[in-house]
Amino acid sequence: MSSQTTIPADLSVTGSSVTDAYAQIHALLDHIAARPLAACSDTEILTAAEEHERAARRMASAGHRQIVELSDRDIPKRLGYRSLPNFLSHHLRITEPVRRQRQMEKLAQFHSATGELLPPRCPTLATAAAEGLIGPGHIHAVLEIFEKIPTTIDHDIKLAAEATLGELACDHTPAEITTLGMRLLAHLDPDGDLTDDTDRARQRNLWINRQNVQKMSKLTGHLDPVTRAMLDTLLSSWAAPGMNIPGDPESSHCSPWTAATAAPHPDATSPPPTTKSITPPSTSPQVDAPTSPHSPAPAPSTIGWSAPDPANTPPRSPPTAGSADASSGPVTPTTCPAPREKSTRSPISKPSSGTDCTISATRFTSGRPTPGHHSHTSATTLI
């Protein structure tokens, strides 16, 4: 992984300041740009391209020293910038300031409180970057894997993992580093038992970008299992097959309370809902009167399960004292067995099968029940 740089004899470095050295670098770049390439052989062109990329990677690594010194002297704040990334973005015009700062914190050398120069946090990556063997893309891929190592892993094992990833980065692309890094994580934590909530809290994040001219915002991030489950619950209604298709009149555009019972799209593969309607908890369920004297009373609209089909429901026994009848006087609360069928689309679960529920019965004032069937009651209170 190490390489030796030979300075030509005819190249003299004049001046004692750092700015003089960078001025000579710019002059040398002008000299290289003025050289014609048509007279070069294929081998020379290939070598020149390789050395150019290596020099660019070395320059990116050497720039960390200047940024650390600027930060230690608090120069960005004195120039009016609110943070170091803000200074990197606006003053130095670095395209990805947050990533640059993150790599600098891992590869650069910082001073301790006593003034001692500390070694880099990732020594193998720092050495490879200083020699121009890896670039910012390789470093980013390695750090992405390195930060996924559980905190319960011993420090010595983490250092060995960093050395392994650093050596792999010298011979592989960033995409290959990600694949090899996942295999390394599988060896360190094969069963996933070492990763706890602390590791997940350390990795979770969410970015909401600004709105563009079309009022759209880009959303990126990493969700923990609890947040993912909440999002899946929301998308199961809003992103169901046939729901919210722009420009399709047959698609259902409704609120989450009615999304579970909306008519499916013709192309949808999900089964049709079994409930008539779902009423939001802010309002009480309403029951419509029968449309004709000979039609049976409609099934009650309840939250939590579907109404039983009158055709499959056995005849009810004659009413007794304390029960509701359409022709009787005052109605008193009574109990009824739980429904036979459970709705698969309702957002609120019903009591377990076999338990009774207390309801407040009401009497239909219009129409009359079909002979052989008593009027249905409306469930207004769930206990």
Q: What is the DSSP string of 356-367?
A: -EEE------SS
DSSP 9: T
Residue with tokens 């769930």: 382
- Cβ atoms of 1 and 138 closer than 8 Å: no
Q: What pLDDT sits at residue 14?
A: 67
Note whether 286 and 301 are within 8 A (CB). yes
Q: Which amino acid is at 362?
A: T
Of 268, 306, 366, 67, which is closest to residue 375 (Cα–Cα)? 366
Residue 318: the pLDDT is 54
Name the pTM for this structure: 0.58
Q: Is-contact 261 243, C-beta < 8 A?
A: no
Burial of 223 from C-beta contacts in 10 A (0-12 / 13-18 / 19+): middle
Start-to-end CA distance of the chain, whole Å, equals 72
Q: How far apart (Å, rounded) are the C-alpha atoms in residues 357 and 336?
A: 7
How many C-beta neighbours within 10 Å does residue 351 have? 13
How many whole angstroms separate alpha carbon 351 and alpha carbon 117? 66
The answer to whether 177 touches 145, Cβ cutoff 8 Å, is yes
Task: Tell me the C-alpha distance between 161 and 184, whole Å.
Answer: 8
Res 245: pLDDT: 80
Give the residue carrying structure tokens 């309840």.
302
For residues 353 and 222, give the distance between their C-alpha atoms in angstroms, rounded to a whole number: 39
Nearest Cα to 307, choosing from 353, 269, 266, 275? 275
Strands 357-359 and 334-336: antiparallel
Q: Taking phi first (over 0 means left), then psi (-120 to 50 degrees means alpha), and beta for anything else, what does residue 132 get?
A: left
Per-residue pLDDT of the chain (383 residues; tens, 9 = 90+): 544 455 554 556 666 789 999 999 999 999 999 999 999 999 999 999 999 999 999 999 999 999 999 999 999 999 999 999 999 999 999 999 999 999 999 999 999 989 899 999 999 999 999 999 999 999 999 999 998 899 889 999 999 999 999 999 999 999 999 999 999 999 998 887 788 888 888 889 898 999 999 999 999 999 999 999 999 998 888 888 878 788 777 776 655 555 445 555 555 555 544 444 444 444 444 444 444 445 455 544 444 445 555 555 555 555 554 444 444 445 444 444 555 554 454 444 444 444 444 434 434 344 444 444 444 443 333 33
So what's the pLDDT on residue 369? Answer: 45
